[in-house]
């Protein structure tokens, strides 16, 4: 086998359709583009969602909702998560090391989900009213 004799298998490649090459080809004159209009002309087309100058759907619909960009800096931890930790003093660095919150998180709040039976001391971590009661009932505190 030589490099100049390599070719695809028979029937694997189709000849490109040559348009605009006379009446006998079946695709002469307008070359399958119809008569006149933007789509018949070279370089003439429009962006996605264009409706011929009519106000497009994405601009007719009202804007709705808002999502704060600061949410990625806030995290939450449940009482169940604190119960599973084997530390008595919990702070943000420890929660990140235990992968209970993401690395970008700056503010953590404990929520009242699950049960806490161990004494836990929270440093620099907020808690909901219900979670605070549960932590103090178990002998813990917030600092």
**Which domains are delineated in the chain?**
70-142 (3.100.10.10)
DSSP assignment, residue 123?
S
Please calculate the CA angle 86-92-95 and round it to the nearest 5 degrees: 40
Region 28-43: mean pLDDT is 93
Q: Decide: 90 and 124 in contact? Cβ < 8 Å.
A: no
Q: Does residue 143 surpass a pLDDT of 90?
A: no
Region 53-58: mean pLDDT is 95
Give the pLDDT band of residue 1 (cuts 50, 70, 90).
confident
Q: Does residue 44 surpass a pLDDT of 90?
A: no
Region 13-23: mean pLDDT is 92
DSSP 9-64: PTTSSPPPP--SS-GGGSS-TTTTS-SSSGGGSTT----TT-BTTBPPHHHHSPP-
């Amino acid at each position: 086998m030589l490099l100049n004799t390599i070719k695809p298998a028979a029937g694997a490649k189709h000849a490109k359709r040559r348009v605009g090459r006379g009446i006998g080809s079946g695709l002469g004159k307008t070359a399958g583009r119809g008569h006149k209009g933007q789509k018949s002309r070279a370089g003439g087309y429009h962006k996605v969602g264009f409706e011929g100058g009519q106000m497009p759907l994405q601009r007719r619909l009202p804007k709705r909702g808002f999502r704060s960009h600061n949410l990625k800096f806030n995290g939450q931890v449940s009482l169940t998560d604190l119960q599973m930790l084997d530390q008595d003093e919990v702070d943000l660095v420890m929660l990140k090391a235990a992968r209970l919150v993401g690395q970008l998180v700056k503010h953590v709040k404990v929520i009242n989900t699950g049960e806490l039976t161990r004494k836990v001391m929270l440093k620099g971590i907020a808690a909901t009213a219900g979670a605070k009661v549960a932590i103090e009932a178990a002998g813990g505190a917030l600092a």
